[in-house]
Amino acid sequence: MLRAAEVTCRFGRATVLHGVTLDVPRGGITGVIGPNGSGKTTLLRTLSGSLAPTSGQVTIDGVPIASVPARTLARRLAVVPQEIHPVFDYTVLDLALMGRYAHLGAFGFETTNDLLAARRALAATGTADLECRHVDTLSGGEKQRVVIASALAQFDEQDDGTARLLILDEPTAALDLHYQYEVAHLLRVLAHERGLTLLVTTHDLQLAWQVCDRVVLLQAGRVLADGPTRETLTPAHLRALYGVQVDRITHDDGDVSLVPRSLSGAAPSR
């Protein structure tokens, strides 16, 4: 549903993306993995329409994303940033209602339908019981799920055949193991039970292996590999990406762990 074709992004003399071409197919979860400075956040900003590429084009269902009115796009595509810093002391329900801005009428007042949509989004993320809490009192995992709820509130509930895309920038960053698992489970539910299309950046190889149907490896602003997760997260690709040997270990129950090999004190090659 989303496609980047020969996308290049430059900032002054620095080129961050070099002719990137990739597809985010409808349904399932596509992951983007790469070292710091590889261009992941710039790629997300370009794919979401918030940053115009220097050259190339991004399309959504074949339509140039730059030509889609902002309100129309917001009903189909929502972005969850790495972190938020609210200026005011908002409640959880206030934050969820912010996702309804694309649906507000001429006077900008929420309706009963907007309130219902916000509460459905909170229920979908397991945060309905937090609606009266203030955002700054939440744990990291609670806050992340509430931010995802605010993004979900952008979408209409009726099944009109329109694909809906949720873009998340490192959704498990700075979360402890319990909340990482909780958010990973939520991502699978949103994709495989609620029918959303998800695009996720992460540094967590294990998360990508467990939740992503496809993975794009980004290296210095170029696509190193792109395809089904099992074919992309290979020891050879990961060594080329990070300069570290990563073993793929299959356990007796069939689960797979991606484990960096001990370096015996040696620095990784690049």
Predicted local distance difference test score (pLDDT) of residue 38: 95
Of 173, 117, 183, whose CA–CA distance to 148 is shortest?
Answer: 183
Q: Residue 94: exposed, middle, or buried by beta-carbon count in 10 A (0-12, 13-18, 19+)?
A: middle
User: Which residues have a Cβ under 8 Å from the Cβ of 139 and sit 6 or more positions away?
Assistant: 179
Please, where in the chain does CATH 3.40.50.300 lie? 1-76+163-270
Predicted local distance difference test score (pLDDT) of residue 155: 86
Secondary structure of residue 171 in the 3-state scheme: coil
Predicted local distance difference test score (pLDDT) of residue 89: 81
Q: Measure the CA–CA gap between 40 and 42, rounded to whole angstroms.
A: 5
Going by pLDDT thresholds of 50, 70 and 90, the confidence category of residue 87 is low
Q: Taking all residues of the chain, what is their mean pLDDT, rounded to a whole number? A: 89
Q: Tokens 């710039």, residue? A: 42
Q: Tokens 């949103």, residue? A: 190
Q: How far is CA 25 from the centre of its chain?
A: 14
Q: Which fold has domain 1-76+163-270?
A: Rossmann fold (3.40.50)
State the pTM of this model: 0.88
Going by pLDDT thresholds of 50, 70 and 90, the confidence category of residue 108 is low
